[in-house]
Amino acid sequence: MGETGRRAINRPWPVVSGPEVVIVPDEMIGGARAAAIIADTLSSAVAERGRADWATTGGSTPIGIYQAMLAPDARDRIPWRDVQTWWGDDRFVPGDHPLSNVRPFDDILLEAGGWESVHSDDHRGKVRIPVANVHPFRTGEAIGQGRSAAACAADLVEELRAAGLPEVDGWPVFDLILLGLGSDGHILSVFPGSSAFGSMRWALAIPAPTHIEPHVERVTLNPAVVTVAGRALVVAYGAAKAEMVGRIFGSDRDPRALPAQLVLRDGATWLLDEAAAARLPR
Ligand code: 6PG
């Protein structure tokens, strides 16, 4: 993609120096706030460039967010026909496995029965998303065929290239990337000291971590995508994350040791509940 294509990516949020930090009283309000940011960002991208590409996250954080995305004010504002959904990372398990990062999206946000065509006159409280717009890592397929996590990541790279997202510095530009925060400071499946930092692949396999659960092999986008995404939204709740949030915002900066420090950038929003924000430096 040339310069012209790159300039066409408009940023509808104010340019600030460094991340915006939003502190909410609890997860319920956090979910609603995140859903509003997601709806705004996706609808603006569709209005500006005819489509939106976002990467969602795994773990427990998106559950309340997906629930809030079903509320009519968020649901009806997201132009799902033109929204392409990707995942920042996944565990190398089939999509219907309890550890899958796709399963909460499927179970909460979509009609029972999976991804179907959009019928705007028949929401029945949930959303319907064209199957062609949903781009998980094809873990189940790879596992079924006896192929490796690395091959699965390579398939995703091919799918991403075919989708023709704009690029900056050779990295695909998502309009929005939603991220949870690991208690060790990881984002995506990029753990402290990860070999992903030396990789030029858009997506790659990560060996099962031994220091943090679940101990399963992963597939992840390259952390560089977080630095070029139009908007990044990090969501963290609970006292157990407070110390890590404090370290991330502290004066020692080394994203290889604390990958979440990659998201201390303009165009990033950190959405924290009061417990997670308790040790933010003043
Ligand atoms: C994963 C992730 C990971 C997650 C954080 C936060 O697959 O484990 O995508 O980066 O977002 O570990 O997890 P919680 O939302 O469960 O706190």
pLDDT tens-digit map of 184-219: 999 999 999 999 999 999 999 999 999 999 999 999
Question: What's phi and psi for 182, nearest 5 deg?
Answer: -75, 155
CA 59 to ligand 1: nearest atom: 16
Where does 189-230 have alpha helices with state H? Answer: 224-228
In this predicted structure, the answer to whether residue 130 has a pLDDT above a threshold of 90 is no
Q: Which of 56-65, 126-135, 257-266 has the lowest mean pLDDT?
A: 126-135
What is the DSSP-derived secondary structure letter of residue 163? Answer: H
Q: What's the 85 CA to ligand 1 centre distance in angstroms?
A: 18
Which residue's C-alpha comes closest to atom 12 of ligand 1?
Answer: 182
> What is the distance in A from the centroid of ligand 1 to the CA of 130?
26
pTM: 0.91
pLDDT at 88 over 80: yes
Pocket test for ligand 1, best of 181, 184, 244 (most atoms within 8 A of CB): 181
> Which has the closest alpha carbon to 36: 59, 6, 69, 10?
69
